[in-house]
Amino acid sequence: MPSLLRSFEVSYLRKWSLISILIGVIAGFGAILFYEGLQLGTHYFLGHGAGLYPPDSGGTLEDTVVWTPPTRLWLLPAIVALGGLVSGVLVFTFAPEAEGHGTDAAIRAFHREKGVIRKRIPLVKMVASILTISTGGSAGREGPIAQIAAGFGSFVGSLFRLSAHDRRIAVTVGIGAGVGSIFKAPLGGALLSTEILYMRDFEKEALIPAVIASIVGYSIFALYDGFDPVFSAGEYHWTMLQIPFFVLLGVVCGLIGQLYVFAFYRTREIFSLLKVPNHVKPALGGVLVGSLAVVLVLLFPEEGGAAGLGGLGMGYGFIQLAIYNHLPIKIMLILIFAKIVTSITIGSGGSGGVFAPGLVIGAMVGGTVGAVSHLLFPSIVPYQTIPAFVIIGMMALFGGVAKAPIAVIVMVSEMTNDFTLLLPSMTAIVGSVILTGERSIYHEQVPTRLDSPAHMREYFCSLLSIPKVQDATRTEFKRLSPDSSISEAVLAMRHGVDALPVVRGDSLVGSVSLKDATDVPIEKWKDTKVGEIIKEPPVIYHNSSLFEAIEKMNEMDLHTFFVVDREDPKRLVGLVTRKDILRIYSGGIE
């Protein structure tokens, strides 16, 4: 047995190593194309169009602070609307499943569509998301790259003619490779792909393949873009005296997270009720998002209008400003609600992810709580500790609403290249997860593997493998002889039994079913003997599992089997029907 197990593990790893490397290579190059598309689109649409060159993340304070507010502010609503319009026409014409934030579609493909994603989806999703985000739509890279790379995984699964089970794993591996690549978080991406499918569970079979693919994809992307993390963490220190403040941060993140999820799905409901074509709904969302940004910039011009402009695009540069302690409390507080409102982008049908908006909201919540804590308790929460609150806020808020606390903690740690905040982040994220409860930003998540259609069969099979056929066997039924009439046989079939055994003495010699009887004209039933229409009896051993019985019933399309002794297959023990098997799992209720 140990040698067989080792042989299985070796073959499993060989197969998935090859597939995972291939998915990782495709995801890595796909991430490069997507990233460059976003960079170029932002430069031309927002830069040349509105004169807006937003701050970027990952640089020094001097690099981040030196950014250009828009010189043509009034053009923003039109530019965001244009991106939404072209994206909407593209998506709803060629691939409606590419609408929205993408991750949900990938999760749905795993649970409900046997890992099948149409081949056109990656391309349509990539172009539509570039158009939405680079024109100022409030969305992120996670959803699109998850669906794009999941599509790659599905394609590889079809290429290798994988089973539905393995194709689902390939989709999961694709999610991990895509997210791990573009966010430079290989371990976090792999963990996210296995955790994000469920509210309280993991897809453990996909973990090792996802790690392999994520490392490959990350290596390819980082060789192109550099190995620097997405955010520069700066310098800060935390102490155990600050733990209660991090717990408070988790509570606030949980409450704001609930508001974010509610606003997101309420927006989707409102736009679904609008009596306008789906193709133009993202444009309407774009007008509202762009107009909100203009209004906030005019009302709050501080920091170059960050209160309004932080609601556009991904907003990572404004997270970087918060990490560098360069945003006032008022601006961070406004940005929390501005970013929640701009969920209109995705809610209206725009193409983009919810990860970036969630990180921005969490960062601003963290910065606000940290700054207020510093004002009230400067000796316990010094000014230099506020960036720690910003980073932990990102983890706590999105980890709670995504129901992926472990993956998000690891992922944000990799994105900041700082693992020193693990303990305070864990204390914060507990409160967030508890308070968000069953509210998740991902509608297609299911509670556990047991609730997933992808695993329903294997759990059902496991349950059926425990009881045996003898536990459901009937012993009281009519036994026919070859000389019995068809009329007598039909009258004896009842209670879910559609076939009866034909015996000679104690030996089973055949069977007759209701279908066999109906092949004979009804007026001849009294005069026709069972022996004239006798068939080979479908048999099952008394100590076989109920799963085996169900499998044979499905294979032969029969409802009744005759139970025989394994040592003496001619000795009839009883009969079993589908109804008898179901009775075992319904507490004996007929």
Q: Quick one: tokens of 475? A: 């012993």
Inter-CA distances, 517 with 52, 372, 491, 496, 539, Å: 82, 84, 11, 16, 20
> Is 562 a residue whose pLDDT tops 80?
yes
Confidence class of residue 590 from pLDDT cuts 50, 70 and 90? Answer: very low
Confidence class of residue 570 from pLDDT cuts 50, 70 and 90? Answer: confident
Count CB atoms within 10 A of the CB of residue 75. Answer: 18
Are 468 and 542 a contacting pair, CB within 8 Å? yes
Q: Quick one: tokens of 67? A: 């950014």
- d(Cα 294, Cα 77) in Å, to the nearest integer? 8
pLDDT score at 465: 56
Count CB atoms within 10 A of the CB of residue 527. Answer: 10
- d(Cα 183, Cα 177) in Å, to the nearest integer? 10
CB burial class (10 A; 0-12, 13-18, 19+) of residue 494? exposed
- d(Cα 22, Cα 26) in Å, to the nearest integer? 6
249: Cβ–Cβ under 8 A, 6 or more apart, which residues?
365, 366, 369, 370, 389, 392, 393, 396, 428
Q: Tens digit of pLDDT for each residue in 574-586?
A: 899 888 887 776 5
Q: Tens digit of pLDDT for each residue in 437-478?
A: 888 999 889 888 878 887 766 666 555 556 788 888 888 888
CATH superfamily of 467-584: CBS-domain (3.10.580.10)
Inter-CA distances, 512 with 224, 418, 526, 531, 539, Å: 72, 74, 15, 9, 13
**Which residue ranges make up each domain of the chain?**
2-455, 467-584
The β-bridge partners of 577 are 560
Mean pLDDT value of segment 92-108: 85
130: Cβ–Cβ under 8 A, 6 or more apart, which residues?
34, 37, 38, 41
Q: Is 200 helix (H, G, I), strand (E, B) or coil?
A: coil
Confidence class of residue 256 from pLDDT cuts 50, 70 and 90? Answer: very high
Reference 273, options 379, 363, 348, 173; nearest CA is 348
pLDDT score at 312: 93
Phi, psi of 545 (to 5 degrees): -80, 155
The terminus-to-terminus CA distance of the chain in angstroms comes to: 42
pLDDT score at 260: 95
Q: Helices marked H in 160-273 — which ranges? A: 164-182, 186-195, 207-225, 243-273
pLDDT score at 160: 86
> Is 6 a residue whose pLDDT tops 70?
no
The β-bridge partners of 100 are 351
Q: Which residue has the higher pLDDT, 526 or 100?
A: 526
- Given 1.10.3080.10, 1.20.120.1200, 3.30.200.20, 3.30.565.10, which CATH number is that of 2-455? 1.10.3080.10
Q: Tens digit of pLDDT for each residue in 301-355?
A: 988 888 899 999 999 999 999 999 989 999 999 999 999 998 899 999 999 889 8
Determine the Cα angle at 360 with ends 397 and 142, to 5°: 85
Q: Quick one: tokens of 573? A: 């023990």
Confidence class of residue 374 from pLDDT cuts 50, 70 and 90? Answer: very high
pLDDT score at 164: 86
412: Cβ–Cβ under 8 A, 6 or more apart, which residues?
188, 359, 391, 394, 395, 425
Rg (C-alpha) for the chain, rounded Å, is 31
The residue count for the chain: 590
Are 218 and 210 a contacting pair, CB within 8 Å? no
Q: Tens digit of pLDDT for each residue in 171-189?
A: 999 999 999 999 999 999 9
167: Cβ–Cβ under 8 A, 6 or more apart, which residues?
114, 115, 116, 153, 154, 157, 158
Strand order in the sheet with 560-564: 539-541, 560-564, 572-577
pLDDT score at 462: 57
Mean pLDDT value of segment 537-551: 84
Q: Hey, what's the torsion of the CAs at 13, 18, 22, 27, to 10 degrees?
A: 10
Mean pLDDT of the chain: 88
493: Cβ–Cβ under 8 A, 6 or more apart, which residues?
499, 500, 514
> Is 105 a residue whose pLDDT tops 90?
no
Confidence class of residue 72 from pLDDT cuts 50, 70 and 90? Answer: very high
What proportion of the chain, given as a percentage, has pLDDT over 70? 95
Q: Quick one: tokens of 524? A: 């001849």
pLDDT score at 220: 97
pLDDT score at 295: 95
Q: Tens digit of pLDDT for each residue in 475-523?
A: 888 888 988 998 888 888 877 788 999 998 778 999 998 888 888 888 8
Q: Quick one: tokens of 353? A: 């992810």
pLDDT score at 585: 61
